[in-house]
Amino acid sequence: MLKLKHIFLFFLAMTLISCQTEEKKANYAVIPLPQEVVLKGGNPFVLSQSTAILYPADNEVMQRNADFLALYLQESMGKPFSTHPYETKENGRSNIVLELDPQMDTEEGYSLNVEAEQITICGKSEKGVFYGIQTLRKAIPAEAKNAKVILPAVQITDAPRFGYRGMHLDVSRHFFDVDFVKKYIDILALHNLNVFHWHLTDDQGWRIESKKYPRLTEFGSKRNRTVIGRNSQEYDETPYGGYYTQEQIKDVITYAADRFIDVIPEVDLPGHMLAVLACYPEFGCTGGPYEVCPRWGIFEDVLCIGNEDTMVFLENIIEEVMDLFPSTYIHIGGDEAPRVRWEKCPKCQARIKAENLKADNRHTAEDRLQSYCMKRIEKRINDRGRQMIGWDEILEGDIAPNAVVMSWRGLEGGIEAAQLGHDVIMVPTSHAYFDYYQTTDTEYEPLGIGGFIDVEKVYSLEPVPSVLTEEQKVHILGVQANIWTEYIPDSDRIEYKLLPRLAALSEVQWTQPEKRTIKISLKDCLN
């Protein structure tokens, strides 16, 4: 009997010990680092089971923000949090209050005020409140199940440095399903990014359903085989394919929009079009035969700009893409389009003559043929109140009048474009190509495209070159990084390439440069 009593007392003691809740403290040194964090002293806020999240009544977007916060807190603390509309601020006692203040300065800015009685996140817009929620979520320990979470009193005032904070994903070389694309978008939201650049078409596969040209997915979304290794002579002889239906694309756009992320589609033209040529050989200069490309690289077979049917096809596709994607920006690629076919093609040469496209000491007539194509597409885009983005090759020839330049071969293209009065997004291979290796010890890394960009290198990018005048600097809209997927066959590898470099990128995009701890210089950036 005595023995039983001892056992009972032992288990009672163990239960009492395990019920004693561990304390965990919030840490406001989150990524990206907010502009201003002022610890106030005084009593902290204690997050408890009874803490509710309150939002203004009759505001669905704020309600969604509150639901996001509840979900994030639950992920960390392992228990549900309730959300309610509030009538008066009094409801806010011991709770987290989300509110809007139209008097605040910046569209994406927010304040996060933690006091013993209440946490308040305030933004000029719902978007700002969303970033305040991200900061709060990151400040709380990721793993705080059964813990008591203490938030020191603080006043955080924050706003992003750049309005364009992007991340790209190539889904042509390898295809990633909707579930993973949504996970990718969640990771971007966690880092305060606001653009997902979706590279949907390339030589190795067409990935958007087209109602007007169904062959593009029936046939153009599949390649018969894929080269093994770095363009060896061997192929895996395994068919590979995938595409997104228009319904799936709409679902992704809504998912991203709920997280204040614009989805910018890219249809890369007039080069990188072998998947289209495999479906419609008549759109090429030679007529083929063509194959949805099983290798990696830059290919001489590009679209025939001299063929009016090709141009009408492009215009129709861009219209269909604009019907699907509400984004202001539409990316039309424009990179890596060799001119050799155009030089020999009677139709292209006839177009050059008819349009009076002339060579000069900087550009060939064929460069101007590409500009002709870009300008025609830009007109369609501008006619619908949208704006065209192209890779920096669109500067070769005569740049389309309203085009935004995505500067990838360094910062130089961006500098030239800004000097010409064009808006610019900096995505230099020197700092922002996340398909590159992150280590020099490549022998122990999965096969990659090459290069070397580690976290520190990404972090050292200064996207606004000091050679620009103050007026020209305003044209630098922001920064992005790219993930090309020739050597990235699965989503685990994408995450490995994305993280932790995205953390460094997000501070380049969001945080003011004087807050960064590594000295940066234009010389480093112009490698």
Do the beta carbons of residue 366 and residue 352 sit within 8 Å? yes
CB 336 → ligand ACM: shortest distance, Å? Answer: 5
138 or 331: CB nearest ligand ACM: 331
- Figure out which of the listed residues 408, 434, 437, 487 binds ligand ACM, where binding follows CB under 6 A: 408
Site size for ligand ACM (CB under 6 A)? 4
CB 351 → Zn ion: shortest distance, Å? Answer: 8
DSSP structural state of residue 435:
T
205 or 306: CB nearest Zn ion: 306
Residue 524 in the binding site for ligand ACM (CB under 6 A): no
165 or 272: CB nearest ligand ACM: 272
Residue 412 in the binding site for ligand ACM (CB under 6 A): no
Q: Which of 267, 266, 264 minimizes the C-alpha distance to 276?
A: 267
Q: 407-418 burial by CB neighbour count: b if 16+ within 10 A, else e? A: bbebbebbbbbb
Choosing from 67, 75, 258, 336, the catalytic residue is 336
Number of H helices, E strands in the chain: 17, 22
Residue identified by tokens 């050679």 is: 467
Which residue's Cβ has the minimum distance to ligand ACM?
Answer: 335
Q: What is the DSSP string of 176-194?
A: --HHHHHHHHHHHHHTT--
Residue 416 in the binding site for ligand ACM (CB under 6 A): no
DSSP structural state of residue 43:
P
The entry of ligand ACM, Zn ion, none near residue 304 (CB within 5 to 8 angstroms by kind) is Zn ion
CB 369 → Zn ion: shortest distance, Å? Answer: 9
Copy the structure tokens of residue 347.
């139709």
Cα separation of 224 and 239, whole Å?
Answer: 4
CB 377 → Zn ion: shortest distance, Å? Answer: 17
Q: Which of 30, 141, 131 minimizes the C-alpha distance to 76?
A: 141
CB 352 → ligand ACM: shortest distance, Å? Answer: 25
Q: Is 179 an annotated catalytic residue?
A: no
Residue 436 in the binding site for ligand ACM (CB under 6 A): no
Return phi, psi of residue 235, to 5°.
-125, 155
Binding site for Zn ion (CB under 5 A): 285, 304, 306, 345, 347-348
Cα separation of 388 and 18, whole Å?
Answer: 60
CB 408 → ligand ACM: shortest distance, Å? Answer: 4
Q: Is 202 an annotated catalytic residue?
A: yes
Q: Kindly give the pairing relationship between strand 387-391 and strand 329-333.
A: parallel
Choosing from 191, 272, 331, 431, the catalytic residue is 272
The entry of Zn ion, ligand ACM, none near residue 348 (CB within 5 to 8 angstroms by kind) is Zn ion
The entry of Zn ion, ligand ACM, none near residue 408 (CB within 5 to 8 angstroms by kind) is ligand ACM
Residue ranges in 372-401 that form contacts with ligand ACM under rule CB under 6 A: 391
Residue 33 region by backbone torsions, left for phi larger than 0, else alpha for psi between -120 and 50, else beta: beta
Cα separation of 103 and 306, whole Å?
Answer: 54
Mind telling me the catalytic residues?
Answer: 202, 272, 336
Q: Write out the residues near ligand ACM by the rule CB under 6 A.
A: 335-336, 391, 408
